[in-house]
């Protein structure tokens, strides 16, 4: 068996690949958070709950309506985004004039309600969701057996992340968005409806979370607490990447996933901790985060 | 983060300190008599969380910084006190002081890392650091992972008073609580506290007046961490148990809820909020995840419509009568 | 009106109690069912355990020597601190006489500490770890359904004897997982097998891929799953996804409940060896009881924890009646003295030892192929009955202070 730094290469590559898959989820979720934070200045604590809702909508659709995976992948983000937009219009929008911390507290409360509600209805053991037939099976890569579905997750996530980045950096709509982030009053003065833009941005961020949730459903069982376990890690990713930075959140998401995978080879017990360690170090050296612009 | 201001000591004095004394005296009598009517362990749990919330409120209400990681001080000092009392056989007062000082030390490190940031950044950093400390608690052998440190002896206070007697324990906890709250009251009404409020209301002005803002914030953070730790230490003796639940970020969220519900920036608000939340947990314990849903609902209502909290609503009414809530 | 009825009721119960010359505090028997109502273990214990306890009370007639019996219940969320504070409240303020079920070792041990201090009875059914009848044993504490020692003796023995000599463990990182791994290692080594390594995973955990990959690269023949409930289910599913079983390695679920097999489906679970304290479809008696339970649980079938809860509560009620008091020590003495027999068909050849262990026959089962299964929940072939004395830790090895050496 070949070894690299005393570690069998097969195990190393395997873990790195798995890290990349986890990183795909970190990237999608932190991207949504970054978008929302950039425009609304709100840390969306219910992001994890909305990710979970995406998975549940897929499961409910399959169980009660027979809607398959592809339908769920297309519709669940829309449904959950609509729900998010209702929350934004009825509750979040009342808080924009107040300290931004209230937004954090409100979404925290919403996360508790949503998760509690699903726990009450469906327990915590998790619902199975089968891998779609088209993506079943796997490839033997020599160093590991890669389930096709997991490769698909990385692919879908990359497409989505790059697409979002292009949308914001290269289109007119993206330009408005960036301008509104810098100076909403001025953009409003140019005749652009900023409140609608804010609402749609929130909806889009939530849709990203729900999309990630559908992708996650076949890998992790559909579980009311699947989001709350993940959200804190994603927060750390956002802090490391630099809050509000689109590219930062994508790159950091994938990077930290890989780092976590690496840690699992060297010192598995620390895998859950390593991201937070990186966060402390980054904060000490570059307080604004790796890709952040100033404090 | 709250617009209401607290009366200065001078103002309170001019409108009659006697009423304030009567009000506090009444509360004390109530607290002294309570264990004869209500289950004492429940009261003690409430007191521990009330102290935790009051300590947390020093940061949120008087410095204007929301820490989302205060569970690390609460939970870690519980571990240290439990370990000291169980494995080293220390007397309860020494074990509690040890826990308190360790929490303050941890507060110094965390504060040093986090204090330069504000608002959401501060909340996120404290949250992530708390999560780091959670993982350490999960991995460190002496915390016994998911089992926690169980069967912690309450011991004899000063080697004399047997705390395994529930009533003795209650009055001990009450004494700790009253002393700690008096201390917080002194801090808030000292010149130091005035500077904190000045920083909260207008930080650039405080800087331009020549105050070393970061140092003030850091000291406040250390006091808040230390007293949160004291609450955790006492709780570990009351329940004879230190466990992961107290270090988990849900505990950090709960203390925010208590403070928000009771009234940010008031002396008695956090305690009222703590008792209400503990009562809800107690009442709905058998109802599964309804506790979570109700807590979430209270959060939403408080943030949207009730930002002054319970005590905050009554504060103007009481203030007219010379009582600072 | 209400007051009058109340006074009447009190007078009546007082009268009947006096007639029986029995002394029960507050003229009421209260049994608390403390379980996981919302978490990972809520399917294998949870609501079904509360129902089982209620069935025991109903089958007993609802009264002990004329004194009414009431079941209260609460959710400990698998947390030691919540379990401990509920137990304390129940004993101190609500007149609870005994606590039953107690899944999750951390919660069970926490309640054990409180029960021991207060001299009250605990009837552990769901938790598995052996310390409950070793260092943590109590004169009023009982461990009813199964334990890690018996599981290892059953499953690991069978697996090693069929050629699975080298092992790698996936262990839930808390007391139960460590205990189960240690007990299994003991059996593996005693049978000439070897342990190639182990990895601890967080509890609860959803993604096992990287742990499975480590197990795979260890080259061990058997991957032992020292975990339970949803963790076991996820690990087995993901092992299939990553082609581990196709690669020639086998999984050994060291604690598998029938509810887990149901979630996995026979297609995935077939052929798996497991040790259980109860199987609903074993004989006419177990079938009759299980069908009664099932009728109130949407057609599900009881796990060993459900049947064990029924059996332990029933035996406690009998001991209460015989002792004519609810004094913990005296009832515990009666529990040790009385024969164990109840309608669930649990506790075959059951007896309670000085360390609080209820020793009874265990069963080595193999999960049926889909083609063999005759209907819903018909999942096991019982391969072998393991007599209680062979299954459980010998009393001489117990470190319990109550065992006279």
Q: Which of C46, C85, C103, C108 to mutate to test the interface with B (most CBs of B within 10 A)?
A: C85
Are both C291 and C191 inside the same structural domain? no
- The alpha carbon of residue B256 is apart from the nearest alpha carbon of chain A, in Å, by 9
- The alpha carbon of residue C242 is apart from the nearest alpha carbon of chain A, in Å, by 6
Instruction: Indicate the average pLDDT of chain B.
Output: 85
Model confidence band, residue A4 (pLDDT cutoffs 50, 70, 90): low
pLDDT digits (tens, 9 = 90+) for A41-81: 888 989 999 999 999 999 999 989 988 899 999 999 999 99
Residue in chain C nearest B148 by alpha carbon: C80
Q: Which two tokens stand for residue A245?
A: 């930075």
CATH code: domain of residue C206? 3.40.50.2300
- The pTM assigned to this predicted structure is 0.83
Half-sphere exposure of C379 (CA within 13 A, CB side): 31
Cβ–Cβ gap B288/A120 under 8 Å: yes
Residue in chain B nearest A274 by alpha carbon: B132
- The alpha carbon of residue A288 is apart from the nearest alpha carbon of chain B, in Å, by 9
Range among A215-219, B233-237, C81-85 with highest mean pLDDT value: B233-237
Q: Which two tokens stand for residue C341?
A: 């027999």
pLDDT of C28 above 70: yes
pLDDT digits (tens, 9 = 90+) for A145-193: 888 998 999 999 999 999 999 998 888 888 888 888 778 788 888 888 8
pLDDT digits (tens, 9 = 90+) for B129-140: 898 899 888 888
Q: Which two tokens stand for residue A251?
A: 């790159």
Asked if residue C7 is part of any domain, the answer here is no
pLDDT of B2 above 50: no
Residue in chain A nearest B124 by alpha carbon: A235
pLDDT at A205: 93
CB atoms within 10 A of CB B156: 15
Are both C163 and C266 inside the same structural domain? yes
Are both C180 and C61 inside the same structural domain? no
Mean pLDDT value of segment B238-261 = 89
CB atoms within 10 A of CB B19: 15
C202: chain B residues, CB-CB within 8 Å? 138
A126: chain C residues, CB-CB within 8 Å? 206, 230, 233-234
Cβ–Cβ gap B148/C80 under 8 Å: yes
pLDDT digits (tens, 9 = 90+) for C52-87: 999 999 999 999 998 999 999 988 888 888 898 889
Count: domains in chain C: 2
Are both C35 and C108 inside the same structural domain? yes
How far apart are alpha carbons B232 and B180 in whole angstroms? 13
The helix (run of H) or strand (run of E) holding residue B234 is: helix B213-238
How far apart are alpha carbons B241 and B81 in whole angstroms? 10
How far apart are alpha carbons C315 and C261 in whole angstroms? 29
CB atoms within 10 A of CB A214: 28
pLDDT at A283: 78
Q: Which of C40, C81, C82 to mutate to test the interface with B (most CBs of B within 10 A)?
A: C81
A149: chain C residues, CB-CB within 8 Å? 241
pLDDT at B75: 95
How far apart are alpha carbons A123 and C43 in whole angstroms? 8
Chain B, 117 to 136: residues with Cβ < 8 Å from chain A are 117, 119-121, 123-125, 127-129, 131-132, 135-136
Model confidence band, residue C275 (pLDDT cutoffs 50, 70, 90): very high
Are both C251 and C102 inside the same structural domain? no
Domain encompassing residue C159: 149-276+362-387
Mean pLDDT value of segment C15-31 = 69
Are both C84 and C194 inside the same structural domain? no
The helix (run of H) or strand (run of E) holding residue C34 is: strand C29-35
C228: chain B residues, CB-CB within 8 Å? none
pLDDT of A87 above 70: yes
Cβ–Cβ gap C217/A128 under 8 Å: no
Please say whether the beta carbons of A125 and C43 come within 8 A: yes
pLDDT of B7 above 60: no
Asked if residue C111 is part of any domain, the answer here is yes
Are both C244 and C366 inside the same structural domain? yes
Instruction: Indicate the average pLDDT of chain C.
Output: 88
Model confidence band, residue B6 (pLDDT cutoffs 50, 70, 90): very low
> Does B254 lie at the interface with C, CB-CB under 8 angstroms?
no
Q: Above 0.90 for ipTM, yes or no? A: no
Q: Output the furthest CA–CA distance in chain B (Å, rounded).
A: 56
B260: chain A residues, CB-CB within 8 Å? 105
Please say whether the beta carbons of B196 and B216 come within 8 A: yes
Are both C262 and C130 inside the same structural domain? no
pLDDT of C27 above 90: no
pLDDT at B4: 44
> Does C73 lie at the interface with B, CB-CB under 8 angstroms?
yes
pLDDT at A2: 53
Please say whether the beta carbons of B7 and B267 come within 8 A: no
Are both C224 and C368 inside the same structural domain? yes
CB atoms within 10 A of CB B160: 7
Model confidence band, residue C17 (pLDDT cutoffs 50, 70, 90): very low
B302: chain A residues, CB-CB within 8 Å? 105, 109
DSSP characters for C315-365? HHHHHHHHHTB--HHHHHHHHHHSPP--TT---TT-EE-TTSBEE--EEEE
Are both C163 and C287 inside the same structural domain? no
Asked if residue C47 is part of any domain, the answer here is yes
CATH of domain A3-285: 1.10.3470
Residue in chain C nearest B291 by alpha carbon: C75
In this structure, what is the dihedral angle of CA atoms C152, C156, C158, C161, given to the nearest 10 degrees?
Answer: -140
> Does B138 lie at the interface with C, CB-CB under 8 angstroms?
yes
Residues 6+ apart with CB under 8 A from B212: none
Are both C171 and C271 inside the same structural domain? yes
Are both C62 and C108 inside the same structural domain? yes
Residue in chain C nearest B147 by alpha carbon: C106
- The alpha carbon of residue A48 is apart from the nearest alpha carbon of chain C, in Å, by 15
Select from B180, B216, B139 the least CA-distant residue to B47: B180
- The alpha carbon of residue C174 is apart from the nearest alpha carbon of chain B, in Å, by 5
Asked if residue C11 is part of any domain, the answer here is no
Mean pLDDT value of segment A265-280 = 80
**Contacting subunits of C (3+ beta carbon pairs below 8 A):** A, B
pLDDT at C295: 94
pLDDT of B10 above 50: no
- The tokens 């967080």 sit on which residue? C202
CB atoms within 10 A of CB B212: 11
């Amino acid at each position: 068996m070949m070894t690299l730094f005393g570690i069998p290469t097969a195990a190393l590559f395997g873990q790195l690949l798995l890290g990349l898959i986890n990183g795909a989820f970190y990237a999608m979720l932190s991207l949504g958070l970054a978008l929302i934070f950039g425009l609304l200045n709100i840390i969306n604590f219910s992001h994890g709950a909305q990710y979970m809702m995406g998975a549940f909508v897929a499961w409910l659709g399959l169980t009660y309506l027979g809607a398959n995976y592809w339908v769920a992948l297309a519709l669940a983000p829309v449904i959950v985004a609509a729900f998010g937009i209702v929350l934004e219009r009825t509750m979040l929008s009342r808080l924009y004039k107040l300290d931004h911390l209230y937004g954090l507290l409100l979404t925290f409360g919403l996360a508790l309600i949503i998760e509690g509600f699903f726990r009450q209805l469906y327990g915590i053991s998790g619902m199975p969701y089968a891998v779609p037939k088209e993506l079943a099976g796997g490839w033997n890569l020599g160093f590991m057996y890669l389930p096709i579905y997991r490769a698909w997750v990385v692919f879908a996530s990359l497409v989505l992340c790059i697409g979002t980045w292009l949308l914001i950096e290269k289109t007119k709509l993206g330009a408005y968005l960036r301008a509104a982030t810098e100076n909403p009053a001025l953009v409003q003065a140019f005749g652009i409806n900023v409140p609608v833009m804010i609402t749609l941005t929130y909806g889009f961020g939530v849709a990203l979370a729900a999309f990630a949730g559908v992708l996650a459903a076949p890998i992790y069982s559909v579980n009311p607490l699947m989001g709350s376990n993940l959200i804190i890690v994603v927060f750390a990713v956002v802090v490391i990447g630099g809050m509000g930075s689109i590219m930062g959140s994508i790159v950091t998401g994938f990077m930290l996933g890989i780092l976590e995978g690496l840690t699992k080879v060297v010192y598995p017990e620390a895998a859950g901790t390593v991201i937070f360690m990186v966060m402390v170090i980054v904060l000490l050296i570059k307080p604004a985060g790796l890709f952040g612009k100033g404090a | 983060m709250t617009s209401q201001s607290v009366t200065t000591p001078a103002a309170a004095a001019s409108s009659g300190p006697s009423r304030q004394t009567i009000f506090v005296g009444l509360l004390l009598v109530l607290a002294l008599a309570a264990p004869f009517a209500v289950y004492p362990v429940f009261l003690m749990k409430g007191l521990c969380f009330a102290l935790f919330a009051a300590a947390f409120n020093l940061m949120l209400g008087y410095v204007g910084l929301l820490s989302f990681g205060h569970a690390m001080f609460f939970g870690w000092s519980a571990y240290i006190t439990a370990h000291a009392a169980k494995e080293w056989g220390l007397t309860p007062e020494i074990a509690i002081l040890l826990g308190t000082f360790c929490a303050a030390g941890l507060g110094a490190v965390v504060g040093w890392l986090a204090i330069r940031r504000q608002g959401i950044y501060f909340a996120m950093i404290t949250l992530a650091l708390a999560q780091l400390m959670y993982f350490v608690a999960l991995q460190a052998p002496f915390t016994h992972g998911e089992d926690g440190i169980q069967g912690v002896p309450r011991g004899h206070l000063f080697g004399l008073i047997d705390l395994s007697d529930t009533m003795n324990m209650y009055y001990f906890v009450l004494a700790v609580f009253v002393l700690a709250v008096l201390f917080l009251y002194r801090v808030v009404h000292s010149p130091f506290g005035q500077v904190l409020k000045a920083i909260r209301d207008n930080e650039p002005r405080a800087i331009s007046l020549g105050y070393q803002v970061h140092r003030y914030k850091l000291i406040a953070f250390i006091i808040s961490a230390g007293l949160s730790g004291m609450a955790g230490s006492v709780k570990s003796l009351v329940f004879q148990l230190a466990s992961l639940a107290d270090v988990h970020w849900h505990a950090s969220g709960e203390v925010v809820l208590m403070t928000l519900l009771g009234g940010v920036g008031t002396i008695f608000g956090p305690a009222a909020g703590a008792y209400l939340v503990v009562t809800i947990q107690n009442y709905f314990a058998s109802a599964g995840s309804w506790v979570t849903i109700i807590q979430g609902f209270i959060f939403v209502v408080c943030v949207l419509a009730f930002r002054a909290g319970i005590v905050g609503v009554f504060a103007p009414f009481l203030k007219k009568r010379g009582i600072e809530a | 009106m209400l007051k009058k009825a109340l006074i009447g009721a009190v007078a009546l119960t007082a009268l009947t109690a006096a007639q029986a010359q029995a002394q029960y505090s507050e003229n009421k028997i209260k049994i608390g069912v403390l379980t996981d109502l919302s978490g990972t273990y809520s399917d294998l214990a949870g609501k079904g355990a509360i129902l089982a306890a209620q069935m025991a009370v109903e089958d007993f007639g609802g009264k002990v020597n004329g004194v009414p019996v009431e079941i209260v219940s609460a959710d400990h969320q698998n947390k030691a601190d919540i379990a401990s504070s509920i137990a304390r409240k129940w004993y101190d303020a609500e007149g609870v006489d005994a606590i039953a079920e107690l899944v999750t070792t951390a919660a069970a041990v926490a309640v054990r500490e409180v029960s021991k201090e207060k001299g009250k009875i605990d009837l552990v059914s769901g938790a598995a770890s052996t310390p409950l009848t070793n260092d943590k044993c109590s004169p009023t504490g009982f461990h009813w359904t199964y334990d890690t020692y018996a599981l290892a003796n059953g499953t690991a023995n069978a697996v090693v004897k069929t050629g699975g000599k080298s092992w790698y463990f996936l262990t839930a990182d808390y007391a139960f997982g460590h205990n189960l791994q240690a007990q299994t290692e003991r059996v593996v080594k005693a049978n000439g097998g070897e342990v190639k390594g182990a990895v601890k995973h967080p509890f609860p955990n959803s993604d096992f891929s990287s742990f499975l990959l480590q197990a795979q690269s260890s080259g061990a023949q058997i991957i032992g799953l020292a975990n339970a409930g949803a963790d076991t289910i996820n690990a087995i599913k993901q092992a299939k996804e990553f082609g581990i079983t196709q690669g020639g390695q086998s999984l050994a679920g060291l604690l598998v409940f029938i509810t887990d097999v149901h979630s996995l489906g026979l297609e995935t679970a077939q052929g798996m060896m497991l040790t259980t304290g109860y199987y609903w479809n074993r004989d006419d008696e177990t079938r009759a009881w299980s069908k009664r339970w099932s009728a109130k649980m949407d057609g599900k079938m009881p796990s060993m924890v459900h049947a064990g809860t029924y059996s332990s509560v029933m035996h406690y009620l009998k001991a209460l009646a015989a002792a004519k008091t609810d004094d913990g020590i005296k009832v515990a003495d009666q529990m040790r003295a009385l024969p164990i027999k109840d309608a669930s068909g649990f506790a075959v050849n059951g007896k309670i030892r000085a360390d609080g262990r209820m020793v009874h026959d265990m069963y080595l089962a193999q999960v049926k192929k889909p083609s063999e299964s005759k209907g819903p929940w018909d999942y096991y072939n019982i391969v072998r009955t393991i007599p209680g004395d062979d299954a459980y830790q010998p009393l001489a090895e117990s470190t319990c202070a109550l065992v006279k050496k």
